[in-house]
Amino acid sequence: MIKWRNKLIVSCLGIIMILLCMNKIGAKAVGREIEGRVLFISSYSYGWPTVKSQIEGLEAGRGKGVILDYEFMDTKRVDDEISRQQFYEGLSYRLSQVEPYDVIIVGDDAALLFAMEYREELFQGIPLVFEGINNEELALELSEDPLITGIVERLSLEKNIDFGLTLYPAAKRVVAILDDSVTGEAERKAFYECAGKYPDLEFGEINTSSLSTNKLRQQLSKIEKDTILIHIMMSEDASGRKYSDEEAVRFILNNTRIPVLRMLEDGIGDGFLGGNVVSMYRSGKIAMGIAMEILGGRKTSEIKAIVESPNVYCIDELVLKEYGFSLSMIPEGAVVVNHQPTFWERNREVLIPGSILILALLVIILWVVFDNFKRRKLMEELEGARSIMEAASQHDFLTGLPNRSKFMIDLGDLVTSGTPCTIMMLDIDHFKHINDTYGHTAGDEALKQLADRLKSRQSPIQMPYRYAGDEFIIILKSSQKKIVEEQAFQCSQLFKKPFVLAGEKKQVGGSIGIASYPADAEDVEQLINRADEAMYEVKKSGRNHFAFYHAIGS
């Protein structure tokens, strides 16, 4: 009996020792971080919006033990043999001075073509992961190589055309805005391949690379409402002008009269209606996930190229409403930007006490229905409550300033009566950066601080309004040169004092565009456009200043 008990004790101790050893081995395995060096080569520059989204995705998928470096070809600004040779020479030198990379990630078509051209000299034997590739045929062909895989970018032209037909069931044609870049050529081919699926639609394009700036402006302005307009790529025109994505967005919106569909997520929220878009953030994250698998020991040849593009619907509600479309037209599951609060959401703080007040007044009316004097008094109180509610509907709930609707009424009255006046359009420079860096709460605080400073400038001849987003407008009831110049200077001084963002004092700039009636414009719409053009010139020339339309037009 004792021997049996001793054997049992020894066996238990042995099992415990084995479990402890296995636990230590398992703990080491779990705790081991994946390490390695990854190089991301972008076809564009860091300032290109899609690149920022790609990098955010790459960083989100990167393990702590992985080093991620970046190289930028900047083909949106310069794309010729000299530029590619200089990039090759610079990259070749830099690669010779650092530790070898374990995985190369290439973003968009130009970077993939570059990597293949110089693969033997620069990346021999290194796994290659592509993402954001428009030329799906080339990507899949290259992925047959045991060291190449990735994820393609498939702009869903069919889904966007279908969405356009939802908005305009009687549309006769579909027009794409394209250029002659590598990406543009790939998407041009895909665009016309869709034509056979829509026999009732006429397919055409606006090739920005072959049109001068003025011709491009004319072509855009001629597009009628029976057209589905899709912006795919615009990086240049035939006048030699290069466009950043932000500049292309503004140019297109300033010269079109119909909603513009967009196939990439950037630009939505700045005036484009939206559509079925490629999420470059998700694309970058997936590409880094593939790289992490390779660094973790999985063979590249075992990872098949992903042909299902990471697409989502993204719709700007503000633009949808601007063109009179119903919110029911938004596809199910879509990401909605610029959500416009309902009347109740916007004026809840006023409506609740106002409704209580009106209810109380109605109760009182029942008690004094036979008393004419009290009845008149109650009717006056009801009229006062109605005035309060009406005033609330014409003011911005965040800043307390009169809103865009009130601005259009006031400016329309001045122009209709022929009263000389001036508008100063201003917005906060790099407002998106403030939101991205400090959060939307800090962005709201910046808007309220600027609104408070504008309120301090309010006078019988000067009234500020919140126009849209981070844009404000001031109506000055004068067009006299000295008065306008003085008020413009005083307005620019509003940005001299630091703003408080997330508890920290930060210097924030503002760009101001100024136009006068009737010197610069004949009607309300033209006056607003002229002030916007003047503000755009300020942004082009360095921001944080002001400019008069007549000065840039001369």
Cα-based distances in Å from 375 to 6, 354, 371, 380: 103, 19, 6, 9
Question: If DSSP codes are grouped into helix, strand and coil, which group holds residue 29?
Answer: helix
Spatial CB neighbours of 341, under 8 Å, sequence gap ≥ 6: 397
Superfamily classification of domain 404-553: Reverse transcriptase/Diguanylate cyclase domain (3.30.70.270)
- What pLDDT band is residue 16 in, cutting at 50, 70 and 90? low
Residues 402, 464: Cα–Cα separation, whole Å: 7
- 22-49: average pLDDT: 74
Is 41 within 8 Å of 115 (Cβ atoms)? yes
Residues 390, 409: Cα–Cα separation, whole Å: 14
Per-residue pLDDT for 21 more than 60?
no
Across the beta sheet with 260-262, the strand order is 202-207, 173-178, 227-231, 260-262, 274-278, 311-316, 335-337
Is 151 within 8 Å of 313 (Cβ atoms)? no
Per-residue pLDDT for 30 more than 50?
no
Q: What is the mean pLDDT of the chain?
A: 88
Question: 185 burial class (0-12, 13-18, 19+ CB within 10 angstroms)?
Answer: middle
Spatial CB neighbours of 11, under 8 Å, sequence gap ≥ 6: none
Strands 510-517 and 546-548: parallel
Question: 121 burial class (0-12, 13-18, 19+ CB within 10 angstroms)?
Answer: exposed
Handedness of CA 527, 243, 318, 508 (dihedral sign): negative
Instruction: Please tell me the CATH code under which domain 157-279+311-337 is placed.
Output: 3.40.50.2300
Find the angle CA(523)-CA(529)-CA(530) to the nearest 5 degrees.
85
- What pLDDT band is residue 223 in, cutting at 50, 70 and 90? very high
Residues 238, 217: Cα–Cα separation, whole Å: 12
Residues 298, 158: Cα–Cα separation, whole Å: 36
Three-state DSSP string of 532-554:
HHHHHHHHHCCCCCEEEHHHHHC
Q: What is the pLDDT of residues 74-88, one digit of tens each?
A: 998 888 999 999 999
* Res 33: pLDDT: 84
Task: List, in sequence order, every residue forming a beta bridge with 82; answer none if it has no partner.
Answer: none
* Res 24: pLDDT: 47
Residues 259, 161: Cα–Cα separation, whole Å: 13
Is 295 within 8 Å of 34 (Cβ atoms)? yes
| 432: amino acid identity, one letter | K
Q: What is the pLDDT of residues 63-76, one digit of tens each?
A: 999 999 999 999 98
Strands 421-428 and 471-476: antiparallel
Q: What is the pLDDT of residues 125-182, one digit of tens each?
A: 999 999 988 788 889 899 999 999 999 887 788 999 999 999 999 999 999 999 998 8
Which CATH code of 3.40.50.150, 3.40.50.970, 3.40.50.740, 3.40.50.2300 fits the domain covering 36-153+283-302? 3.40.50.2300
